[in-house]
Amino acid sequence: MLAPFFTVVIATHKRPVLLRRAITSILNQTYQNFKIIIISDSKDFDTYSTASELLRISDVFIQREGIPGPSESRNLGIQCATGTHVIFLDDDDAFDNTFFSDLVNSSKFTVLDKLFYVNCKVIDLGLTKSTTLINTSTPDKGTIL
């Protein structure tokens, strides 16, 4: 089996409703070569239920112990990642359904990129359209993010 192109790491803490939206936005991607890793820093039944309902057999859900916070969860996600590229998604964010394909097809993206920065857009969920386009760029050497 080939490694996924993207590994998406989501750190979460007791926010199953938001986590559901984040996971769904990944599963609805038009580009499907990815793996999801969710790291929960609490033993929360609702978070576990949401993850087990939505994740595929190839995805990973980890309930870690220790100090709560996204840093340790993201570091654990990096250690578990098997994809060529790692993407972080906060549990209160979501991707457009063409995000991965837009990224792969971007003239600024190459397989050799070590760091790729993607700006965001704010969407009012009460509206049906968003007018802001994704702005992608590879930071210059020495750029502080």
User: pLDDT per residue over 103-124, tens digit each?
Assistant: 888 867 766 655 666 666 766 6
The predicted pLDDT at position 115 comes to 60
The predicted pLDDT at position 39 comes to 97
Give CA–CA dist 131/101, Å, rounded. Answer: 19
Higher pLDDT, 104 or 143: 104
Higher pLDDT, 110 or 132: 110
Supply 99's token pair. 């995000």
Domain 6-137 in CATH 3.40.50.300? The answer is no
CB 99 within 8 A of CB 109: no
Please tell me the pTM assigned to this model. Answer: 0.80
Q: Where are the domains of the chain?
A: 6-137
| Alpha-carbon distances, residue 79 vs 5, 9, 27, 74, 112 (angstroms) | 16, 10, 22, 9, 20
